[in-house]
């Protein structure tokens, strides 16, 4: 009898945890497990601002999938469409070859992409903070602005190169602004021709408060830390227009600026749009057991799914956080095992354990189990949490060693020239333009299946 095929789409927190748990709970003879992912690593997203700031090397936050899993088959590519009626996932391999992966059970954990709006110039000139390539690019770009400003004799050019704007007052935006501001503050000492007062960081958000999830006290603490460092925080403000050398805000201000980092939220992977399934604010609607009710054998979780938050109730859905994604991955694995063994499925329930926000150096705010912390105690909690969340001992060692090296030896502020002469559009980094329409998915699925 042929083993049932379990196909997991996405190698992030949700997908990796699902695969690892399936390996532990199922014997090799019980199921064939495959994972579709374009990269051979799980990206530890919460530490991307540290990569952008040079505190951590890119490899430190790229946790090897092959170290984490033993027998899961990795398909090196990205899912670009799903035909649940034929039980086929269409995959574009990293060679651009399009293939079909059949499944008996499908786990959709494709994650999210940077959410954008119809703002003139945004998709052409904004940079994201969602992928390892984007974080690496941003570090190079920021240092190159210092280099070019130092070499310029044009005051207007210098001003535009030394003003940096981060949009989004959530965790990603706040940590990105904090970490990169520390980078430029340290780097400016190596540029004797530049006046440190010319470097200006701006953090803007349309919301009236910075990180409201932290609560009034810690949110104000984070705001005070940033403003104390010289970061100009503007709340209740958004971007009206972006140009190659300027940014216009909705309050009428226009800043000379060549660096706009966009972290204003996320949207579910466009893969979800290839299924004819019900959605909730763009995320695929699932039951409390994380089943997609319209299709047999299909589960969805993580950032791409609207998973009911039973701990909050009142129709709430789980926020798109790493904490929920990892636990949902394990819960879906348990439900897959139950389905294979003809047992009842269990609903997902998880009460949030708290929040950590690393602002670089000794600065942090944390709220573990409802306890409000700031300063060094909060930093110890934040970094301990990240270390524990790493899936391999090698990754833990790299991160710890990098933190220690940066704290004791500092940074050399080297730019590698990564994509220095290439466009840096969001779609180029996040591949948001490769997905098929529903009709194309069906055509590809049938054609590829016909070939065997």
Q: Which pLDDT score is estimated for 264?
A: 93
* Count of CA atoms in the C-beta half-sphere (13 A) of 424: 26
Rg (CA), the chain: 23
Give the DSSP letter string of 347-393. Answer: -------EEEEE-STT-EEEEETT--EESHHHHHHHHHHHHHH-SSH
Domains of the chain: 5-114+267-352+429-450 (3.50.50.60), 116-264 (3.50.50.100)
| 71 contacts: CB under 8 Å, gap ≥ 6 | 23, 28, 33
Q: Which pLDDT score is estimated for 336?
A: 98
Q: Which pLDDT score is estimated for 213?
A: 83
Element (H, E) at 63: strand 62-64
Phi then psi for 345, rounded to 5 degrees? -85, 155
Strand duo 246-249 + 254-256: pairing: antiparallel
**C-alpha torsion angle, residues 250, 253, 257, 258 (rounded to 10):** 30
Whether 50 contacts 242, CB under 8 Å: no
Total-model pTM: 0.94
**Nearest in space to 20 (alpha carbons), one of 95, 128, 107:** 107
**pLDDT by position in tens, the chain (length 452):** 689 999 999 999 999 999 999 999 999 999 999 999 999 999 999 999 999 999 999 999 999 999 999 999 999 999 999 999 999 999 999 999 999 999 999 999 999 999 999 999 999 999 999 999 999 999 999 999 999 999 999 999 999 999 999 999 999 999 999 999 999 999 999 999 999 999 999 999 999 999 888 888 999 999 999 999 999 999 999 999 999 999 999 999 999 999 999 999 899 999 999 998 999 999 999 999 999 999 999 999 999 999 999 999 888 999 999 999 999 999 999 999 999 999 999 999 998 888 899 999 999 999 988 899 999 999 999 999 999 999 899 999 999 999 999 999 999 999 888 777 777 788 888 888 889 888 888 888 888 777 76
CA distance 164 to 296: 49
Whether 169 contacts 205, CB under 8 Å: yes
**Nearest in space to 141 (alpha carbons), one of 130, 131, 149, 151:** 149
Distance of alpha carbon 9 from the chain centroid: 16
Residue where the block lists tokens 């996320």: 266
Q: Which pLDDT score is estimated for 452?
A: 62
Would you state the structure tokens that stand for residue 138, as one six-digit string? 């941003």
Q: Which pLDDT score is estimated for 1?
A: 63
**Nearest in space to 227 (alpha carbons), one of 240, 241, 210, 243:** 210
CA distance 101 to 90: 6
């Amino acid at each position: 009898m042929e083993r049932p095929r379990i196909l997991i789409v996405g190698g992030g927190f949700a997908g990796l945890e699902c695969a690892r748990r399936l390996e532990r709970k199922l014997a090799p003879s019980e199921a064939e497990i495959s994972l579709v992912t374009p990269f051979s690593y799980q990206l530890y997203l919460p530490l991307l601002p540290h990569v952008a700031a040079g505190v951590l090397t890119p490899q430190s936050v790229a946790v090897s999938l092959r170290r984490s899993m033993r027998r899961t088959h990795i398909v090196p590519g990205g899912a670009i469409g799903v035909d649940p009626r034929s039980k086929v996932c269409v995959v574009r391999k990293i060679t651009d070859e399009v293939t079909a992966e059949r499944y008996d059970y499908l786990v959709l954990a494709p994650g999210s992409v940077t959410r954008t709006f119809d703002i003139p110039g945004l998709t052409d000139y904004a940079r994201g903070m969602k992928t390892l390539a984007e974080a690496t690019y941003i570090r190079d770009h920021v240092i190159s602005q210092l280099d070019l400003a130092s070499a310029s004799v044009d005051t207007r050019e210098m001003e535009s190169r030394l003003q940096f704007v981060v949009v989004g007052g959530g965790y990603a935006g706040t940590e990105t602004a904090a970490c990169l501001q520390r980078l430029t503050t340290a780097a400016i000492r190596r540029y004797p021709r530049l006046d440190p007062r010319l470097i200006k960081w701006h953090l803007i958000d349309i919301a009236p408060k910075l990180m409201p999830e932290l609560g009034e006290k810690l949110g104000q603490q984070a705001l005070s830390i940033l403003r104390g460092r010289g970061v100009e925080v503007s709340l209740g403000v958004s971007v009206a227009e972006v140009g190659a050398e300027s940014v216009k805000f909705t309050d009428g201000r226009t800043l000379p600026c060549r660096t706009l980092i966009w972290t204003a939220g996320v949207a579910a992977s466009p893969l979800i749009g290839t299924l004819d399934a019900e959605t909730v604010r763009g995320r695929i609607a699932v039951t409390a057991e994380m089943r997609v009710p319209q299709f047999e054998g299909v589960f969805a979780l993580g950032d791409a799914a609207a998973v009911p938050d039973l701990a909050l109730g009142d129709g709430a859905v789980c926020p798109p956080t790493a904490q929920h994604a990892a636990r949902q991955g394990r819960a879906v694995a348990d439900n897959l095992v139950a389905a294979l063994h003809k047992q009842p499925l269990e609903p997902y329930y998880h009460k949030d354990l708290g929040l950590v926000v690393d602002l670089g150096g000794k600065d942090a705010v944390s709220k573990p189990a409802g306890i409000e912390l700031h300063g060094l105690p909060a930093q110890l909690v934040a970094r301990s949490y990240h270390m524990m969340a790493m899936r391999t001992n090698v990754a833990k060692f790299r991160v710890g060693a990098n933190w220690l090296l940066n704290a004791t030896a500092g940074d050399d502020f080297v730019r590698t020239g990564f994509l220095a002469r290439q466009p840096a559009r969001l779609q180029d980094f996040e591949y948001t333009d490769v997905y098929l329409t529903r009709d194309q998915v069906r055509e590809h699925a049938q054609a590829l299946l016909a070939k065997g």
